A = this chain, B = another copy of it.
Amino acid sequence: MKFVCKKSDLVKGVNIVLKAVPSKTTMSILECILIDASTGQIKMTANDMELGIETVIEGNILEKGIVAIDAKIFSEIVRKLPDNDVTIETDASFKTKITCEKAKFDISGKSGEDFSYLPYIEKNEYISLSQFNLKEVIKQTIFSVSDNENNKIMTGELFEINGENLKVVSLDGHRVSIRNLKLKESYDPRKVIVPGKTLVEVSKILSGEMEDEVRIFFTKNHIVFEFDETVVVSRLIEGEYFRIEQMLSTDYETKVKVNKKELLNCIDRATLLIRESDKKPIIIQIGDGEMRLKLTSGVGSMNEEIVIEKEGKDILIGFNPKFLIDALRVIDDEMVTLYLVNPKAPCFIRDDQESYIYLILPVNFSSASV
């Protein structure tokens, strides 16, 4: 195999497929990138068996062939090459020579025989959305995916398509994040659970541009993201997702409208008093026209008032400050509305169109800390 390509293209391609190279594995072939120049194009692939990524880079193939190269070494070398044309050439024993200007590297490669290629996917049904929207919706929900592998379903996100609506849901037992997105076309109903890890990696590769499209294909066991020159194939999580509807309610006793940035900054400051080990709630006292936030820990105490618009009853309620911060950070609105029932019932942060719904469970606190 022999081809010439630009260093920048090579680095870009390697960085994309690197997302599917496992950091730890006992199978050394999984640590490799497969470079396939056996057809008319230069295709790079990495696959950790759950998630596989393939991308095509531009270049000039001088001799067809395939090689599997250690991903980490290869990526470090290409990144440090001068900014010029790079020649990659393998011999019969898969020894790979990387040449750029006067720099010459020799590293060993493998035949790629035992490389696990991406599964063949029949691409029938797909939905289309902008890379911007997909990247945003992942950012806006991914934080409440559970990292507890004992409940596999909680480690994924629900993607539910219904007509022109895409609903994305994640939950971890303490909170639920829901985003509703309007699609440009109407599609058949479909519900899948996508691994959180896949979404994290996909969102790193997405350009995030409104004009760039991504197509999402579904099969029984897989989801495929196609965008730019890249294909990402991931297994789906099997099983039935939690019934979200029955957790949601539009009844409330207290409705609070508050400036998002003020609230976020105040809670953020309060967390300074929390040392890693202890779990201190932020206690929110909602009265007429004012919200008083208070946090007390071994380090000290803070309290702060924020001007609000209130409807309904006064309430005193405690939260894990991190959960409020996570949700508030990904809401773009200047003003947010909180709906509360009582100190034991979940708080909802949602907009009128329900483009987002964040449900957060309160925490108990001793009256002594008020």
A residues lining the B interface (CB < 8 Å): 73, 76-77, 80-82, 102-108, 265-266, 268-269, 272-273, 299-306
Smallest Cβ distance from A104 to chain B, in angstroms? 5
Name the residue of chain B whose CB is nearest to the CB of A72: B299
Interchain CA distance A272-B106 in the complex, whole Å: 12
Do A105 and B300 touch across chains, with their CB atoms under 8 A apart?
Answer: yes
Chain B residues within 8 Å of A105, by CB: 269, 272-273, 300-302
Interchain CA distance A234-B266 in the complex, whole Å: 40
Interchain CA distance A73-B273 in the complex, whole Å: 8
Interchain Cβ contacts under 8 Å between A and B, 15 examples: A73-B299, A80-B268, A81-B269, A82-B265, A102-B266, A102-B306, A104-B302, A104-B303, A105-B269, A105-B273, A105-B300, A105-B301, A106-B301, A107-B299, A108-B300
Interchain CA distance A103-B76 in the complex, whole Å: 47
Chain A contact residues, majority secondary structure: mixed
Do B304 and A102 touch across chains, with their CB atoms under 8 A apart?
Answer: yes
Name the residue of chain B whose CB is nearest to the CB of A305: B102
Do A272 and B76 touch across chains, with their CB atoms under 8 A apart?
Answer: yes
Do B303 and A80 touch across chains, with their CB atoms under 8 A apart?
Answer: no
How many monomers of this protein are in the complex? Answer: 2
Interchain CA distance A81-B73 in the complex, whole Å: 44
Smallest Cβ distance from A108 to chain B, in angstroms? 7
Do B104 and A272 touch across chains, with their CB atoms under 8 A apart?
Answer: no
| A102-B306, A269-B81, A272-B80 as given contacts; A73 in contact with B107, CB under 8 Å | no
Chain B residues within 8 Å of A80, by CB: 265, 268-269, 272
| A272-B73, A272-B76 as given contacts; A107 in contact with B300, CB under 8 Å | yes
Interchain CA distance A77-B305 in the complex, whole Å: 17
Name the residue of chain B whose CB is nearest to the CB of A262: B102
Do B104 and A304 touch across chains, with their CB atoms under 8 A apart?
Answer: yes
Do B302 and A272 touch across chains, with their CB atoms under 8 A apart?
Answer: no
Do B266 and A103 touch across chains, with their CB atoms under 8 A apart?
Answer: yes
Smallest Cβ distance from A63 to chain B, in angstroms? 21
Name the residue of chain B whose CB is nearest to the CB of A76: B272
Smallest Cβ distance from A58 to chain B, in angstroms? 23
Chain B residues within 8 Å of A73, by CB: 272-273, 299-300
Interchain CA distance A305-B102 in the complex, whole Å: 6
Interchain CA distance A77-B273 in the complex, whole Å: 8
Chain B residues within 8 Å of A268, by CB: 80
Smallest Cβ distance from A368 to chain B, in angstroms? 16
Chain B residues within 8 Å of A272, by CB: 73, 76-77, 80, 105
Chain B residues within 8 Å of A305, by CB: 102
Smallest Cβ distance from A352 to chain B, in angstroms? 28
Name the residue of chain B whose CB is nearest to the CB of A78: B272
Interchain CA distance A77-B269 in the complex, whole Å: 7
Chain B residues within 8 Å of A302, by CB: 103-106
Smallest Cβ distance from A91 to chain B, in angstroms? 13
